Every structure is written in structure tokens, then in C-alpha cells.
Amino acid sequence: DMAVSAARGSVAVRRRREMEDRKRAQDKHWELAGSKLGNLMGVKEKPDETVNPEEDDSGNYKESHQFASHMKDNEAVSDFAMEKTIKQQREYLPVFACRQKMMNVIRENNVVIIVGETGSGKTTQLAQYLLEDGFGESGLIGCTQPRRVAAMSVARRVADEMGVELGQDVGYAIRFEDCTSEKTIIKYMTDGILLRECLGDGTLDQYSAIIMDEAHERSLNTDVLFGLLREVVAKRADLKLIVTSATMDADKFADFFGGNCPTFTIPGRTFPVELFHARTPVEDYVDAAVKQAVTIHLGGMDGDILIFMPGQEDIECTCEMIKEKLGELDEAPPLAVLPIYSQLPSDLQAKIFQRAPGGMRKAIVATNIAETSLTVDGILFVIDPGFCKMKVYNPRIGMDALSIFPVSQASANQRTGRAGRTGPGQCYRLYTERQFKDELLRSTVPEIQRTNLANVVLLLKSLGVDDLLKFHFMDAPPQDNMLNSMYQLWTLGALDNTGQLTSMGRKMVEFPLDPTLSKMLIVSAEMGCSDEVLTIVSMLSVPAIFFRPKGREEEADSKKEKFQVPESDHLTFLNVYLQWRKHKYSAKWCADNYLHVKALKKVREVRAQLKEIMQDLKLPIISNGSEWDIVRKCICSAYFHNAARLKGIGEYVNVRTGIPCFLHPTSALFGMGFMPDYVVYHELIMTAKEYMQCVTAVDAIWLAELGPMFYSIKESKQSRREQKMESVRTVETMEAEMREAQKEIERRKEES
Ligand code: CDP
Ligand code: MG
């Protein structure tokens, strides 16, 4: 059952991670041997995962049917990126063949839906066609992408195609990184960026054309933009709105913009793809994918390989295992194994598009970024384990969790299609045909229907959408989601009892951060420790600071320990940054201390940007010196909904939900020799156990003071009864709003 194996995750990765965790835990254990707690620290020995019996390499796949077949085999072009000039490449794209027709439709209509296979040239060409048609004269040509990686890499590609420097005529903007200038005419950006631009300029006047790319992806921000842009096009006859989609949701998009907007379909050009399904369910998709990749590589057929994996860990593990397997063989032909995922440094990301040295075969191991947003030419083999990572609201823990889920049938078919872009290909699905039919959803549930909406609520409220339930969503979010998010905002003090934005809420919306972190920043100014909290929040906005290279783990760990502040991972972050600052932001110092210098530089940039926002809001930047208890209290003020109480040794339970949660062996608190009674944490990550990520010890009294709606208090001005009444009133107001919405939805249904 795919859902079950998704929950289990990849066995190979889990095995590796557990081994590492265990080793680290044991190390700590020995350090603590003197203390009585040492052997009770929750270091449980687990038997090794049973390794699945070897499957027969040759025949676990059966061919099921030919996938798509629009083209003759002899049109296959191998290695085509190298044989053609950029101009020839542009003219070879399917979109070029119908350029005039398409541009006529665009000229004659305000809103146009464009549908085309992935790789037909929508993302890279449309903006350039608009520019060549004169749209750049009256404003910017904007193009939104749901993914940061896509925004960056596509902008770079278009800059290359136009022979300009990236950041000049063609630029991109993603959160905390604006690579545009006065000269920029074509601007690629994440949908989140355009959404935030709506805050400053409700009708997006600086744009003459907006391409909402990858609309089929139905990302949360794209869905909200849909609702907003629908209003904008009604007000601005001079704005061109182009919605592009790789799949066939076109009718839905067209309906949304009011029936009479045309759909233009770019005629596809695809080669047949032979499709193979696993005969029996696969135990470990990393193992299976590695085996399949090696089999293909040794099989003698030309063509690059694309392997889908749900996330960074699986990707790294797959890459390592492929290299290891090939290393064991004598005289295996060389293979360029290339990972791609969003947190990968961009110079490494670019490698997937380059020709490998000596023309060797490439095996690209990718997240579902390669499903529709990035197209690599030359892929003739696809290996699809059938999983992806998705952010889904988890009612058990009361918040979003990033977990692995089976992909939808639509996604699976998209993935298969990647093998047939430049020649006839093959796709290996690491699941059975029956699983495909019975266990995969037809299409992916839009993000807006499965995640926390706190940010969206905050944004829409500040755009003056008072009644969120009257907002025109393409697919309305479930009431529960909306209510939960509003409740969360209310507990943070961003909304008042009538659901109106408070002054706190108005400040929060100015930060491109999750509401919790914005709140922490604002409170820190009142508490007089904003200089410190600014650093902590910036550190939390950047991935992986600590560097733990293979073979030197112990050295790296002992360096890390020197930074650790025993009662707080947040303060440990602060400590790292302060020391880096003391060492004049030195790169060498970072290397000596096993810290990622690039990540820290990013922290510095993010910090500068957040500082600017604070100054605009007249929030004073004050340092509180070495008095870090106040900093902890401030951290507590934002995270009180993520509070946990010590239950057993090493084990905590969430104060509100009673869900067990554990200290991670990498946490600074893990080795401190005693367990604080109360902690707050940044988030829960679910791997082998529910681990609290980034933990700080807090005082029980702070929780009562700062989270009165959750925790009983003695010294509050309101009596508990009054508080209770107040929360009941809030819920009632919200529910009334929800009921209104439901009526509205029904009314609309009747209308159409
Ligand atoms: O958006 P769509 O999927 O329709 O196609 P596209 O992303 O515009 O890709 C068109 C072509 O540009 C493909 O042949 C890609 O290989 C190429 N491309 C590239 O070489 N480097 C990039 N960073 C992006 C696209
Ligand atoms: Mg595209």
C-alpha cells in the first residue's frame, strides 16, 4: 500500500539516519556517563531494519502500453542542445511553430489561457515574444513561478538567449533575493513575490503583462493571485494576463475568468514512451531506483536518465548509492550523477543543463521540480518511485507538516512524458499498475485545500478583503482550515474578536515571514532585545548552517558543541552569528568551525532586509547585551502554541494536544545533563519519531503570561470565565462568517 510506504519513507535513508542519530546519541551517552540521567536519555537500541530480499533485477517490470505517440522515431535528435545554436534551439520549440497564431489571440484578448506540453517553450519564450511585440514599452513583463529554483534558472536561461546579463534586462526576484534593476523589463518571480507586490500596488500598475506560469500546479500563492488578478483585469483594460498550464485544466481556468476567455493549445511534439510498471510492490524505492538506474546505464542504450525522488535526503542517498554501486564494478562506463532540489546551491543546479564532460551519460536525480517546471533535453529514461513531498495540514499535531505522499495519476503521467521529449524513451514506474489505478488520486489536491492559511488570511485581510468567505477562490479552502488559521492569528494577536486586523497584525504583514516569526520580531522591539531576535529569525530563514562532512563528523560535532548554549538552540544560533561577527564575518573562520559560509552570508543579507522593514515600521533595534533570559521570553511569546512539558526522561508532550515529541540528538538541550520542565520549539519534524526542531527552555509562568488563551493564569486582568467567554465569542463570529461563505458558495453554484 503506497500510503503506508510513504509514511515509512525510504528505508535506506531512514536506516542511515537512524544509524547516525544512534551514534550521536551514544556519544552523548558516554559523555553523560557520570550523571545518573545518562543511561536514561532515551537512547533506545533498535534492531536493524530487515533488508528486503533481492528482487530479480531483470524482470520486475512488465511493459504495459505505449504511452504517447505523436511522432516518427526518426525525428529523434540526440544531444541536440550541443548541435544547435541558441537561435536554432528557440526555433525548434513547438511554441515557435504557432507563434503568430498565438500572438494574435493574445493581442485580441485580455486574458488568455495557454496550454502546452512541458518543454514546449511556454516559460522561456512567451515573455520574449511579448517583449518583441512591444509589451515592454508600457511596463514590465512579469512571469510567476511556484518554485524558486525555476524562477532563477529560467531567468538565467532567458538572459542567455537574449545575450544580456542576468539582473539587467532580464531578472528574477525570490524571497530575500532581488536580482532585478532599473533596466529590467522581463521579471521572473515566485508567485509569493507578486502576491506581496499587490500589497503595495493593488492594481499592479508597473506591469503591462503578467504570465501566471505553471497554473496547473495550483500552488497556494497562485490560487490567491487568481482571485486578486481576476479583480485587477476587470479594472485594467491595458493589462494582459496569460495563464499557462501543462495539463488540461484549461476549462476550469477559462471558466474562472468568466467564460469568454480563449484557450490556446500549443500543438505537442512528443515521442513514444515505453511504460513499465513494477510487477510487485517495491519495498524500498531508493534501492529499487538505484538498481534500475544501474541496469539502464549498463544496458548499452544511449540517453540521459531522470530519477524522481521526494526530497533532498533521498536524493543525496540515491546519488551516493549509484556512485557506490558503479564503483564496485570493474570498468563501468562513467556516469555523471547530478542532484537537483531547491536548497542546492545554484551553481550546482545549473549543472543539470550542461553537457557532461566527455559527453558521458547524465543521471539527474530530482524532486518534482523536474516534473513540469524544469525541462532538461536529452532525457530518454525516467524512473518514477511515485512519491513526492507535500505540505499538508496535520490535524494530529495541529499544524502543517511536510510529509511524503504518493503522487497523483496526473503527476505520474507528466513524469512519464519527460522521457519522450527528444526521442523515443522509456519510463520505469516503481509501483504496480494496480497501485497506479487503485491507490493514486486522479489529480493532486490544490495546496489551498490542504495547508495552513494564516499567511493568506493575514495578506487578504490587509488588502481589505474583510469577508474572506466572499473572496473568489477557484476552489474554496475547507472551512476548518480557514477557521484554524484565523484562530491561530487571533492567538497571536493579529486579529481581534471580530476578525479584523489589529495593529499587531498590520505590522506582521509587512514581514515576508511566517506569522510566528513576525510576531517574535515585533515583540522583541518591545522587550528590548530586537538586535538579538533579528539574528535568530534570520538564522531560521536560511537552511543548514552547520556543516558535517563525511568522515569528519566527530570533528564537526565537537566544533558545534563549542557554540551550544545549553538551554536553547535559538540562542545557539545567536551565539554562532555573534562570534562570526566578532571574527569580522571571516570565511576562513567559518571553514575552521564547520559552518557553511554561504549560508551565513545569506543570514547577513536576510538580516539586513528584515532590519530595514523594522526601521520602516519604527521598531527600535536594541541590544540587550548578555541578558539572554529576556530573549528566551521573547521566543516564548511567539511559540507558545508549540509548548511542550517534560513527561518522562527525554520525552515531552505538547501542552495543548498531548502529542508526544522528542528532543533531537542534535539539539543543544540534548546533552545538557538535565531536562527543563517546559520547552517551546520551532517545528516538529517527523522522521523516525516526532522530533522537535529548534528548541528553547522556557519558564512555565511565561507560557501563562504570554499565551493566556491556552494556559491558565493567575495574574491576568481577565478572569478565566471572561477569557472563556471571549474565545467563545470569537469562534461564534468566525463561524458566522463561515456560514455566510457557505451560502455565497451555494449561491454561486446556482448561478452558474
Ligand atoms: O515552459 P515549458 O515547459 O513549456 O518549456 P520551457 O521551460 O520554456 O523550456 C523550453 C526549452 O528551454 C527546453 O528545451 C529546455 O531544455 C530549455 N531550457 C534550458 O535549456 N535551460 C533552462 N534553465 C530552462 C529551459
Ligand atoms: Mg514552464
Residue with CA at minimum distance from ligand 1 atom 6: 121
CA–CA dist 384, 430 (Å, integer): 6
Whether 93 is in the pocket of ligand 1, judged by its Cβ within 6 Å, is yes
Residue 119 cell numbers, joined: 518543454
CA–CA dist 691, 247 (Å, integer): 38
Q: Is 456 helix (H, G, I), strand (E, B) or coil?
A: helix
Whether 118 is in the pocket of ligand 1, judged by its Cβ within 6 Å, is yes
| Residue from 469, 451, 510 nearest 200 by CA | 510
Whether 311 is in the pocket of ligand 1, judged by its Cβ within 6 Å, is no
**Proximal ligand: closest to the CA of 350:** 1
In the chain, the percentage of residues whose pLDDT exceeds 90 is: 59
Please, what is the Cα angle at 170 between 188 and 198, to 5 degrees?
40
Whether 269 is in the pocket of ligand 1, judged by its Cβ within 6 Å, is no
Substitution site in 98, 157, 369, 418 for ligand 1 pocket (most atoms within 8 Å of beta carbon): 157
Residue with CA at minimum distance from ligand 1 atom 17: 375
CA–CA dist 399, 246 (Å, integer): 31
| pLDDT above 70: residue 47 | no
CA–CA dist 74, 79 (Å, integer): 14
CA–CA dist 306, 362 (Å, integer): 8
Taking CA atoms, 680 is separated from 126, 522, 663, in Å, by 48, 18, 11
Quickly tell me which residue has 541590544 as its cell. 623
Residue 535 cell numbers, joined: 539574528
pLDDT of residue 23: 56
| Residue from 525, 516, 536 nearest 617 by CA | 525
Residue 1 cell numbers, joined: 500500500
| Residue from 408, 313, 298 nearest 17 by CA | 313
Element (H, E) at 683: strand 678-686
Quote the ligand 1 centre to 71 CA distance (angstroms).
20
Residue 445 cell numbers, joined: 489536491
Quote the ligand 2 centre to 375 CA distance (angstroms).
8
Substitution site in 162, 375, 377, 421 for ligand 1 pocket (most atoms within 8 Å of beta carbon): 375
Residue 510's pLDDT band, with cuts at 50, 70 and 90, is: very high
Whether 119 is in the pocket of ligand 1, judged by its Cβ within 6 Å, is yes
Q: Return the ligand 1 atom nearest residue 377 CA.
A: 16
19-28 long-range Cβ contacts below 8 angstroms, 24+ apart: 20/553, 21/664, 21/665, 21/688, 22/46, 24/557, 24/665, 24/666, 25/665, 25/670, 27/554, 27/557, 28/665, 28/670, 28/671
CA–CA dist 178, 711 (Å, integer): 42
Quote the ligand 2 centre to 146 CA distance (angstroms).
10
Whether 422 is in the pocket of ligand 1, judged by its Cβ within 6 Å, is no
Is the Cβ–Cβ distance between 741 and 476 less than 8 Å?
yes
CA 73 from centre of chain: 38
CA–CA dist 232, 208 (Å, integer): 12
> How deeply is 475 buried, as exposed, middle or buried, from its count of CB atoms within 10 A (0-12, 13-18, 19+)?
middle
Whether 120 is in the pocket of ligand 1, judged by its Cβ within 6 Å, is yes
80-89 long-range Cβ contacts below 8 angstroms, 24+ apart: 80/377, 80/378, 80/422, 81/353, 81/355, 81/377, 81/378, 82/355, 86/160, 86/161
Q: Return the ligand 1 atom nearest residue 372 CA.
A: 3
CA–CA dist 597, 46 (Å, integer): 36
Whether 414 is in the pocket of ligand 1, judged by its Cβ within 6 Å, is no
Whether 154 is in the pocket of ligand 1, judged by its Cβ within 6 Å, is yes
**Proximal ligand: closest to the CA of 114:** 1
DSSP labels, 489-537:
HHHTTSB-TTS-B-HHHHHHTTSSS-HHHHHHHHHHHHHT-HHHHHHHH
Quote the ligand 2 centre to 244 CA distance (angstroms).
8
Quote the ligand 2 centre to 308 CA distance (angstroms).
18
pLDDT of residue 348: 84
Whether 123 is in the pocket of ligand 1, judged by its Cβ within 6 Å, is yes
Quickly tell me which residue has 495539463 as its cell. 247
Quote the ligand 2 centre to 310 CA distance (angstroms).
20
Mean pLDDT of 474-480: 87
Taking CA atoms, 176 is separated from 142, 170, 192, 602, in Å, by 18, 18, 11, 9
| pLDDT above 90: residue 30 | no
* CA quadruple 742, 745, 747, 750: dihedral sign: negative
| pLDDT above 60: residue 79 | no
| Residue from 61, 63, 78 nearest 424 by CA | 78
Whether 122 is in the pocket of ligand 1, judged by its Cβ within 6 Å, is yes
Quote the ligand 1 centre to 150 CA distance (angstroms).
10
Q: What is the pLDDT of residues 251-306, one digit of tens each?
A: 889 999 986 799 999 998 889 999 999 999 998 999 999 999 999 999 989 999 99
Q: Is 136 helix (H, G, I), strand (E, B) or coil?
A: helix
Residue with CA at minimum distance from ligand 1 atom 21: 157
Residue 232's pLDDT band, with cuts at 50, 70 and 90, is: very high
Quote the ligand 1 centre to 448 CA distance (angstroms).
27
Phi, psi for residue 573 in degrees, rounded to 5? -55, -45
Q: Return the ligand 1 atom nearest residue 126 CA.
A: 8
Quote the ligand 1 centre to 354 CA distance (angstroms).
13
Residue 344's pLDDT band, with cuts at 50, 70 and 90, is: confident
CB atoms within 10 A of CB 662: 18
Q: What is the pLDDT of residues 668-693, one digit of tens each?
A: 998 667 789 999 999 888 777 888 99
What mean pLDDT is reported for the chain? 84
pLDDT of residue 744: 57
Whether 432 is in the pocket of ligand 1, judged by its Cβ within 6 Å, is no
Calculate the CA dihedral of residues 596, 602, 606, 612 and round it to 10 degrees: 120
Quote the ligand 2 centre to 531 CA distance (angstroms).
41
**Proximal ligand: closest to the CA of 118:** 1
| pLDDT above 80: residue 96 | yes
Whether 116 is in the pocket of ligand 1, judged by its Cβ within 6 Å, is yes
Is the Cβ–Cβ distance between 641 and 710 less than 8 Å?
yes
Q: Return the ligand 1 atom nearest residue 266 CA.
A: 4
Quote the ligand 2 centre to 408 CA distance (angstroms).
19
DSSP labels, 619-674:
------TT-HHHHHHHHHHHHGGGEEEEEETTEEEETTT--EEEE-TTSTTTTSSS
Quote the ligand 2 centre to 221 CA distance (angstroms).
17
Quote the ligand 2 centre to 86 CA distance (angstroms).
18
CA–CA dist 525, 615 (Å, integer): 11
Residue with CA at minimum distance from ligand 1 atom 7: 123
Do β-strands 140-145 and 186-190 pair in parallel, antiparallel, or remain unpaired?
A: parallel
**Proximal ligand: closest to the CA of 147:** 2
Q: Is 707 helix (H, G, I), strand (E, B) or coil?
A: coil
| Residue from 360, 363, 382 nearest 371 by CA | 382
Q: Return the ligand 1 atom nearest residue 120 CA.
A: 4
Helix axis angle, 628-639 to 569-582, nearest 10°? 130
Give strand pairing partners of 189.
144, 173
**Proximal ligand: closest to the CA of 373:** 2
Residue 73's pLDDT band, with cuts at 50, 70 and 90, is: very low
pLDDT of residue 14: 64
Q: Return the ligand 1 atom nearest residue 156 CA.
A: 23
> How deeply is 433 buried, as exposed, middle or buried, from its count of CB atoms within 10 A (0-12, 13-18, 19+)?
middle
Give strand pairing partners of 212.
144, 243
Whether 94 is in the pocket of ligand 1, judged by its Cβ within 6 Å, is no
CA–CA dist 690, 577 (Å, integer): 28
**Of residues 619 and 259, which shows the higher confidence score?**
619
Q: Is 407 helix (H, G, I), strand (E, B) or coil?
A: coil
Is the Cβ–Cβ distance between 461 and 454 less than 8 Å?
no
| pLDDT above 50: residue 329 | yes
Quote the ligand 2 centre to 214 CA distance (angstroms).
6
Least confident of 85-99, 413-427, 684-698, 714-728: 714-728
79-84 long-range Cβ contacts below 8 angstroms, 24+ apart: 79/355, 79/359, 79/378, 80/377, 80/378, 80/422, 81/353, 81/355, 81/377, 81/378, 82/355
| pLDDT above 70: residue 126 | yes
Least confident of 231-245, 298-312, 348-362, 608-622: 348-362
Residue 740's pLDDT band, with cuts at 50, 70 and 90, is: low
CA–CA dist 748, 259 (Å, integer): 14
**Proximal ligand: closest to the CA of 418:** 1
Mean pLDDT of 108-119: 94
| Residue from 375, 304, 381 nearest 78 by CA | 304
Whether 214 is in the pocket of ligand 1, judged by its Cβ within 6 Å, is no
Q: What is the pLDDT of residues 354-410, one digit of tens each?
A: 888 888 999 999 998 999 888 888 999 999 999 999 888 776 666 777 788 999 999
CA–CA dist 57, 344 (Å, integer): 32
Quote the ligand 2 centre to 374 CA distance (angstroms).
7
Substitution site in 89, 124, 376 for ligand 1 pocket (most atoms within 8 Å of beta carbon): 124
User: Taking the model in full, what pTM does it have?
Assistant: 0.83
Is the Cβ–Cβ distance between 304 and 363 less than 8 Å?
yes
Give strand pairing partners of 646.
652
CA 533 from centre of chain: 24
Least confident of 360-369, 545-554, 583-592: 545-554
**Of residues 544 and 132, which shows the higher confidence score?**
132
Quickly tell me which residue has 518583441 as its cell. 132
CA–CA dist 116, 551 (Å, integer): 47
Please, what is the Cα angle at 446 between 443 and 447, to 5 degrees?
140
Q: Return the ligand 1 atom nearest residue 213 CA.
A: 1
Quote the ligand 2 centre to 95 CA distance (angstroms).
12
pLDDT of residue 251: 85
Quote the ligand 2 centre to 123 CA distance (angstroms).
4
Alpha helices per DSSP H over 336-408: 346-350, 369-372
| pLDDT above 60: residue 39 | no
Give strand pairing partners of 105.
none
Quote the ligand 1 centre to 542 CA distance (angstroms).
28
Phi, psi for residue 678 in degrees, rounded to 5? -130, 140
